């Protein structure tokens, strides 16, 4: 019974670690999208100011 509890605890911990990793990945992706959007906007603004 104790072994089952331990196994479940380990599985939960592994799941939490995986969720954290996925969440971190999503944040990194979101930052990348934001940054590229900002640079695209800046480029467009720069081009428009020269036009």
Give the helix, strand, coil percentages of the chain, each rounded to 5.
95, 0, 5
Q: What is the pLDDT of residues 12-51, one digit of tens each?
A: 999 999 999 999 999 999 999 999 999 999 999 999 988 6
* pLDDT attached to residue 50: 84
Containing structural domain, residue 16: 1-51
Q: How many helices (H) and strands (E) does the chain have?
A: 1, 0
Residue with tokens 């479940």: 8
- Count the domains in the chain: 1
pLDDT band at residue 5 under the 50/70/90 scheme: confident
pTM above 0.75, yes or no: no
């Amino acid at each position: 019974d104790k072994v089952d509890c331990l196994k479940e605890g380990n599985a939960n911990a592994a799941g939490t670690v995986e969720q954290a990793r996925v969440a971190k990945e999503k944040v990194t992706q979101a930052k990348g999208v934001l940054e590229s959007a900002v640079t695209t906007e800046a480029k467009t603004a720069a081009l428009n100011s020269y036009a």
